Amino acid sequence: MASFKKIADTAIGFIYPNVCQLCGAQRATSIEGFVCSRCWQGVRFIKPPFCKRCGLPFQGALTTEFECTNCREMKLHFRSARSAVSASGAVLEVLHRYKYKRALWFEPFLADLLIREALPELRQEKWDLIVPVPLHAAKKRQREFNQAERLATFLSAAAAIPMDTTLLKRVSWTESQTKLSRDKRAENMRNAFTMRKRRKLHGERILLFDDVFTTGATTNACAAVLRAAGAGEVGVWTVARGL
């Protein structure tokens, strides 16, 4: 396996030179996701204080838990959501190129960000399944892959939590939510997901996974379906947090 990986990395090196694919100036290899140490310095990891429900970072000093306005005004079906980094700067550019331009060579970089932050916390609790947020079949054909599913594979392996892609199904097509308000996002997601083949759960603790958390409309809609099907508790992890 190690020799095969070495051969694969060498082959990738012939196609993509060992240069950072963000700045184009510094050395970076496929193992690093072609992101150099200088560009790494622009990554903003999300650290306390942050909202206890959605993980929104708070700029300032707090000594007690707090819940942001967005969470207080929404009926949330997940217990809490956490993200590894802020969706800004280099991370935002990587995510955009990864999702919409199929720049899959950035995967090791994104997986590293996620595992660094998520793994210590996941080891403190017992989760039964990781469930990536599904794409609509038409959108998956268009994009050729589900970014949440691919990145969840790394988290599943690192945390030794089984991943299940057969529970949830996206039944309605929605355009990109990037420029929509919180209320419009929630409206778009209403009835967007269902359980496949009327599957039932029996108190399992489910960890929902997506690439980016913004208002929580998508993950909240998924969590509502999982709870209605019998999930005992639903948590959320994402690579990045929109601010």
Say yes or no to pLDDT of 183 above 80: no
DSSP state of 173: -
- Sheet with 205-213: strands ordered across: 81-86, 233-241, 205-213, 129-132
Check residues 26 and 175 and name the one with the higher pLDDT: 26
Domain spans in the chain, listed from the N-terminal domain onward: 1-41, 45-241
Q: Of 49-63, 72-86, 210-224, which gets the smallest average pLDDT?
A: 49-63
CATH code, 45-241: 3.40.50
What digits encode the pLDDT tens for the residues 130-175?
999 999 999 999 999 999 999 999 999 999 999 999 999 999 876 6
Contact 205, 236 (CB under 8 A): no
Mean pLDDT of 205-222: 95
pTM passes above 0.75: yes
List of E strands, 199-232: 205-213
Task: State pLDDT tens for residues 32-73.
Answer: 999 999 999 999 999 989 999 999 998 776 667 888 888 888
Q: What is the mean pLDDT of residues 19-32?
A: 94
